[in-house]
A and B are shown apart, each in its own frame.
Chain A
Amino acid sequence: MTMTPAPLVDLKGVGKHFGAVRALNEVDLSCQAGECLGLIGHNGAGKSTLMHILAGTLRADCGVLLMGGEDVRHGYSVQVARQHGIRCVFQELSLCPNLTVAENTRLMCPGLRGFGWRRKAGALIVASLDSIFPGHGINPADVVADLPIGQRQMVEIARAFTCVDEHLALVILDEPTSSLDARVAEQLLGYVRHYVESGGCVVLISHILGEMLATCDRIAVMSDGCVVDVRAARAFTHATLVESMGTVTRSQGEHYEFVSKRGSAQPVVNQRPARQQNGQTVAAWPGEIVGLAGLAGQGQSQLLVQLLRERIASGKRVALVAGDRQTDGVFSLWSIAENITISSLAALKRGALIDPQAEQAMAAEWQARMGIRTPDMNQPILSLSGGNQQKALFARALGSDSDLILMDDPMRGVDVGTKREVYAIIKEEAARGRTFIWYTTELEELDHCDHIYVFRSGQAVADVPRNELSEAQILRSSFQEEVA
């Protein structure tokens, strides 16, 4: 392959759908040898999808994938990506925990073979670790399962930079610093600069604005599956970067007077997140809808679980609407009616047994209220569409006698129509005095909340009533301003 001054990789009009969800929409992006390209955006903006396409683990539905001026989209795979010198460190670790560090290195370097391959692989990975993370303290004979998460991440990164008889052109680092401590993260970013200056190319994805601005040459901002802005990193500041991430246009039609429900009586909930270092608590008053915002996986779900456990332990009523339907939502072999009535069985008993008529009546009532589209509530729950299954889960929680309802990002993958219907019911129930705590990754849903807490690294870092809510503020709090 000849190295031309043309872009190393050039993506043109790349699109990708997952079912009805459009993850990527006509994305154009290119990267040159000798530059570090930053990729930034809110959760679900399509960064990881784009990188999976580049690494060959996902297929693009349309568009052109030019490498050295040649379209390789058809028949593109992990092997082809590797032949073009593309390596990827994914967000979810891809080491085998049962193998040693040296053996994991060999998985990526088919060139290591023959007698003594283990020693060669060990020397290779140690050399790479030494140059990126001096003083790493990792032995190539260590089994990966025994290493703490930070060291695993170091091995994974170092492995991407090793090569035997192959050429290495582009390394994708998807949130490489998320589990590294500050000193090690600095070593890595220093190495990235060094590598880029010696002619390599790195695509860096990170939520830490400071490190993006300091390390990248160019930064591409993604939002809603599109690249909305590409500029030289020098042309960005913290403020302009946050601003360009929040270009989602939103209809602000139903904006009515905000009345705080706080101040009266006692809060229903006043909980300090487990990893909170200051005295900040997450509080909810009767009739309030409290939103938990921030990037995905910053401790919002943990707070909900923590609340759930404590309420159950102290014998108070609580209900949870799960977001991950398949794992902790539906009983997949039961009927829709059984799925709805499971949390209200105490009220449906006649003597020691369940009263089938009461059960049917309750199911019929909730079918009407939630508008669950099915001819018969005794059909299996899996006969429903995803959105209707989610409605059944809402019915289960709302049908119980609990006055506190926790929602763990329940609208994931639910269509817009269903969402609207459910929002209306949530508001109706809140008006009757029920309290909702709602973790959501969708910024628009925060408009329905009375009070919002933004989470970062397991802590509530911002506490805003709805009348002061702005998207820029949420984004600013979600993304770390400086390297900690």
Chain B
Amino acid sequence: MNAPQPMTLKPQPMLSGTQGAAVNRARWLRNALPAFSLIVLLGTIFIMQPRAMSYMGMNLMLNLAVPIALATIAQMLIITVNDLDLSLGSFISFVACVAATLLNDHPLLGSLALLGCIGVYALLGALIHIRQLPAIVVTLGMSFIWVGGAVLLLPAPGGSAPQWLQALVKIKTPLLPFAVVVCVLLAIAVHLFLMRSTWGVVLRGAGGNPLAIAKAGWSLLRIKVTLYAMAGSFGVLSGLFLVGLTTSADANMALRYTLLSIAGVILGGGEFTGGRVSPIGAVLGALTLVLAGSLLSFIRISPDWQIGAQGAILILVLALRTAVNRLEVRPA
């Protein structure tokens, strides 16, 4: 969507040792910010409501965090190549509807439909790359298609999630609630893939300087298709997890995930352009958003005001981030 800017050849003063250290400190601060916001939020919740600090309490609070975390990872993969997926929420709703109808009644057909969904995502990536279309426009269009498909499958809320899925999401793990375990595993797995592996380097490089990647002989088409297909896969997982928790589906059940996932990526230290993303940050960002909702319930803010208050928390964290970024830019 955004054409990458070529690096400008501005003569810059050489960084002296102290300035280099300042840059490192600012970078460390920025990376620590998502974790810091989450800890502050959790601390506040525990002080307000000590009973939340238990296996049961955490489980209740973080129950819905896993689908949001999965959606955030999906969105982050798209943002890696400077695109944005505005259809993610409707896609997850569609997947939930497929799971509550087709997958339940005809497991084989349902699985094929879900695989087909991933294929559609891969094709979208190819389409966006080959025709050089703005991803926002393509995905906005797709969002209506997904919602339409979901309404066709489930004109009224209903359906039923497969039993195995319901059982899967209710697994009781020792020590830590299942949701926490899944989030930690998710963050570590995606981090290892995207930030530490050689494939991840190429994928992120395509966000930083696509021309350089092409000149080095990598196929941008394959990179985009890979990332979109992976985003589709995480979207499918998110939808399955969600319908497992709610046991029935609704064509509009996950529409707000589109914006939540974008907010999660940004809260987690990611940026819209330049391939600067952080999987661990994205998961932390998703958890922060979920807990912000719980905190507002605990301090008895009426649901009418909750969305606004959630927005205020978002603005607060982003303002902090901007302040940290400024620290980085300012010559020491």
Contacts and interface: CB of A to CB of B under 8 A. Distances in A.
Contacts of B264: none
A78 B216 contact: yes
Interface residues of A, number: 35
B215 A90 contact: yes
A148 B15 contact: yes
A94 B12 contact: no
Contacts of B9: 93, 149, 178-179
B282 to A, nearest CB: 15
Contacts of B211: 92, 94
Contacts, number: 87
Nearest to A94: B212
B59 to A, nearest CB: 37
Contacts of A90: 215
Given A57-B215, A98-B274, A150 B205 contact: no
B260 to A, nearest CB: 25
B208 A97 contact: yes
B163 interface: no
Contact of A99 (B204, B215, B218): B204
A253 B218 CA distance: 52
B217 interface: yes
A98 B208 contact: yes
Given A92-B6, A149-B11, A149-B12, A98 B207 contact: yes
Interface string B1-39: 000001101111111000010010001000000000000
Nearest to A179: B9
Contact of B201 (A57, A92, A107): A107
A369 interface: no
B216 A94 contact: yes
Contacts of B218: 107
Interface stretch (A110-118, A400-408, A473-481): A110-118
A107 B6 contact: no
Nearest to A78: B217
A107 B212 contact: yes
A358 interface: no
Interface string A82-104: 10000010101111111100011
A108 interface: yes
Contacts of A96: 204-205, 208-209, 212-213, 275
Interface string A122-159: 00000000000000000000010011111110000000
A107 B7 contact: no
A96 B212 CA distance: 7
B13 A113 contact: no
Contacts of A88: 215
- Residue of B20, B196, B216, B218 contacting most chain A CB atoms (<10 Å): B216
Given A57-B215, A94-B215, 14 more contacts: A78-B215, A94-B216, A95-B209, A96-B205, A96-B212, A98-B207, A99-B205, A106-B198, A107-B202, A107-B218, A117-B198, A118-B196, A148-B12, A152-B7
Interface of A: 55, 57, 77-79, 82, 88, 90, 92-99, 103-104, 106-108, 112-113, 117-118, 143, 146-152, 178-179
- Chain A to chain B: the 10 pairs with minimum beta-carbon distance, closest first: A96-B208, A94-B212, A98-B208, A96-B205, A78-B217, A148-B12, A98-B275, A96-B209, A103-B201, A79-B217
20 contacts: A55-B215, A78-B215, A79-B217, A94-B211, A94-B216, A95-B7, A96-B208, A97-B7, A98-B274, A103-B201, A107-B201, A107-B205, A107-B212, A107-B216, A108-B216, A117-B198, A146-B20, A148-B14, A149-B10, A178-B9
